[in-house]
Amino acid sequence: MMGPILFSKHARVRCAQRGIDESLICMVLAYGRAEYDHHGGRRCFLGQAEKRRVAREHPGIMRRYGRKLDLVVVMPAKGEQTVVTAYVRHRGR
């Protein structure tokens, strides 16, 4: 993986408010896929295939994190690799 993860002030505040810990962000960055938004940003997340891989390699992870595995980590597309924000996607209920 890349070097140490840096967080913007906004990202630190939002992660604290949303109960998102750094280990979950590291997992998304290590196992997830990235989509570029064509506005200079990159969204990293776990798709179904990535979730299956994480569950296979780390048994019990679904039980530990549950719905938080729908985490999206937003970073710049280029340059300094700083987490800009992170949030949990709300899927159809």
Q: Where do the structural domains in the chain lie, given as residue ranges?
A: 6-88
What does pTM read for this prediction?
0.87
- Confidence check: pLDDT of 89 > 60: yes
Beta bridge partners of 88: 71
pLDDT of 12-61, one tens digit each? Answer: 999 999 999 998 999 999 999 999 988 889 999 999 999 999 989 988 88
- Confidence check: pLDDT of 4 > 70: yes
pLDDT of residue 80: 74
C-alpha 46/C-alpha 71 separation (Å) is: 7
Residues in CB range of 29: below 8 A, 6 or more apart = 1, 2, 5, 44, 73
Residues in CB range of 26: below 8 A, 6 or more apart = 1, 5
